[in-house]
Chain A
Amino acid sequence: MQQKVIAALFRAFDEVNPLLPEGRKLEKNTDTPILSQLNSLGMVNLIVAIENRIKDRFGVTISLTDEKTLLSNPFQTTTTLADYITSLLK
């Protein structure tokens, strides 16, 4: 499951990277830092892209802007985010 989530995250990275300036693009690695890499507009774009890709891939609507997400602070790296989304899908 986690590998499929990571694949969905990488698709979301592909979608958002054209919007990010050089040097701020998200690399498709498991240890890619996310939060420190993006400004607020970049975060909004990424969150919506991830929610859409998860919906496409798993047919499930998740929210990455609710209180639970904010408390869990999952946007450190690709892996921490994938772990969090996997927990939501289980």
Chain B
Amino acid sequence: MTENRQYKCLLISDFTIDNLAAYLRGGSSPPEIIPLISPFNQVIRVLLDNSLECWQKNPDLAVVWTQPKSVIPSFNRIMNYEHTTEERILQEVDEFSSLLLTIGKRLKYLFIPTWILPSYPRGTGLLDMKSGIGIGVTLARMNLRLADNMQEASNIFLLNAQNWIIGAGKDAFSPKLWYMGKIAFGNIVFQRAAREIKAALRGITGKARKLIILDLDDTLWGGIVGDLGWEKIILGGHDPIGEAYVDFQRGLKALTNRGILLGIVSKNEETTAIEAINKRPEMFLTLDDFAGWKINWKDKARNIIDLISELNLGLDSAVFIDDNPVERARVKATLPEVLVPEWPEDPIFYKQILLGLRCFDAPSISREDSSRTKMYVSERKRQAMEINLGSMEKWLQSLEITVKIEKLSTGDLPRTAQLLNKTNQMNLSTRRMTEPELYTWAKKPGHELWTFRVSDKFGDSGLTGIISLKTENDRGKIVDFILSCRVMGRGVEETMLHTAITRVQTLGLNQVFAEFIPTNRNRPCLEFWKNSGFAKGRRDLSFSWNTRSPYTLPNWITLVNSEVSV
């Protein structure tokens, strides 16, 4: 199982970092982190010497948190109003960056909080943002250079420490903590840093939330639409509360551009609620912004389960937002996997709370992410058509599905790694790998990784499938068999097997086999394989196919493929 693993995290710092270690170790939010503290104030030595004891424990990730004056000596000159050049400072940033890039190769993930200064020195006043002398402008350029240098390393992430300082306010720094304990920040800063690091890890490992389920009355607009009518609900206009609701909707819409889906669960008459969404001109969100909805008088927990299963997601991918504390308590108690944030009574604070949630972090945003809602809306239309058409095969024929098959390229690597790390249900082996790990694996002799792009007359679902093969003696092993839940059940699974068998046959091998590795989420994958026509082996968890027999391609699928049978 990969769900609840522990992460060994090496903390490398030029100040006492034990308090961050304590916050990472403690707290109830996953994942579990075992902090390892490197020798105090020996950053460069630790980065250079991997024979040190702290590296022998094989950390999964590291946090390198430094003060600019200690790792960039020329920055000290600027701090002392001595002459130096920007070129010299940036050269030192480059040198430090190359050390970080080197250790990044030894780790799964590397987090680097940006450089910050205590807020009490006021810099160089009028000259603070003046090139060549200003402390503020120099620090900003150093951080930008560091970010640029790390840009290409897909497992290295800069964390914006300035946000932690702003959030901590007057408690961000304490001279007493510094002089008595060499603790560079107030504990509230470490607390925030620990939360951000955990959120980042959840995001990288595919545990970010994907769906926001919203109540309507007094959540998306003010008032009860069933009582007031759509014309009189509070929304927009020259009114602070009305504006706050529209702004909250804007915040939700922005999240959909990051790949977060929106859904509605509301106790209302469906026709009344939909009428309000469609007719009220100040509604920033339209019906097409919602992947699905359950608007009725049933128990909200029941409706949440139904909506999530309709969208093929897991309960742990959802966030439920409702102004009513009783409804929140009910969902919290019955569906503990669903995240139910405490919600303010005053709508003025809705957007602020929404944008402060740490559950949506993702390491990248793909083309597929930004159009995810559109894909679900297309799916809703497909389903409506399915109901009209009756016969499954007739419906599939009518979709005009095209599948494009390509060997893994560097351009598709971020999306492929994202799919590998986020997909739970249709996933044969649930391997989790970073982009470099995946690419290295795919390029090894005897290994191949194919990607599948699926489109139909309703739209392009993008890169939604992966199959990887490994030659073992005279057999071809399917190592990964991954398909996004968005395109499950349309014959793409069979198309992937057809591809794998054709490919293995082309390589001159006699048999294709696969071993299913169970998790508590990938049962749909096992069900597919059991009915795939492959011969079942040990404990019904291994499957094989003799390549003398072709595997039929579903007749409603059009393949766009240039390389598989070469």
Contacts and interface: CB of A to CB of B under 8 A. Distances in A.
Given A41-B181, A44-B181, A18 B176 contact: no
A45 B176 contact: no
A54 B160 CA distance: 31
A37 interface: no
A52 B168 CA distance: 13
Contacts of A38: none
B180 A65 contact: yes
Nearest to A18: B26
Interface of B: 16, 18-19, 22-23, 26-27, 171, 174, 176-177, 180-181, 183, 186-187, 191
A15 interface: yes
Contacts of A18: 22-23, 26-27, 191
What is the interface residue range for chain A against chain B? 10 to 19
A45 B187 contact: yes
A48 B23 CA distance: 17
Contacts of A45: 19, 177, 181, 183, 187
B18 to A, nearest CB: 6
Interface string A60-80: 000001000000000000000
A15 B16 CA distance: 18
A39 to B, nearest CB: 10
19 contacts: A15-B187, A18-B23, A18-B26, A18-B27, A19-B18, A19-B19, A19-B23, A20-B22, A41-B19, A44-B176, A45-B177, A45-B183, A47-B180, A48-B176, A48-B177, A51-B176, A52-B171, A65-B176, A65-B180
Closest 8 CB pairs of A and B: A44-B181, A19-B22, A44-B180, A18-B26, A48-B176, A48-B177, A48-B174, A19-B19
Contacts, number: 40
Interface in A17-52: 18-20, 40-41, 44-45, 47-49, 51-52
A18 B177 CA distance: 17
Contacts of B16: 41
Given A19-B19, A65-B176, 20 more contacts: A15-B187, A18-B22, A18-B26, A18-B27, A18-B191, A19-B23, A41-B16, A41-B18, A44-B176, A44-B180, A44-B181, A44-B183, A45-B19, A45-B183, A48-B174, A48-B177, A48-B186, A51-B176, A52-B171, A52-B174
Contacts of B23: 18-19
Contacts of B186: 48
Contacts of B177: 44-45, 48
A20 B21 CA distance: 11
Nearest to B22: A19
A45 B16 CA distance: 12
A41 B187 CA distance: 12
Nearest to B18: A41
Nearest to B194: A18
| Residue among A15, A47, A48, A52 facing the most chain B CB atoms (10 A cut-off) | A48
Contacts of A44: 176-177, 180-181, 183
Nearest to B180: A44
Contacts of B187: 15, 19, 45, 49
A80 B171 CA distance: 27
A33 B282 CA distance: 61
Contacts of B183: 41, 44-45
Nearest to A17: B26
A90 B385 CA distance: 80
A51 B176 CA distance: 10
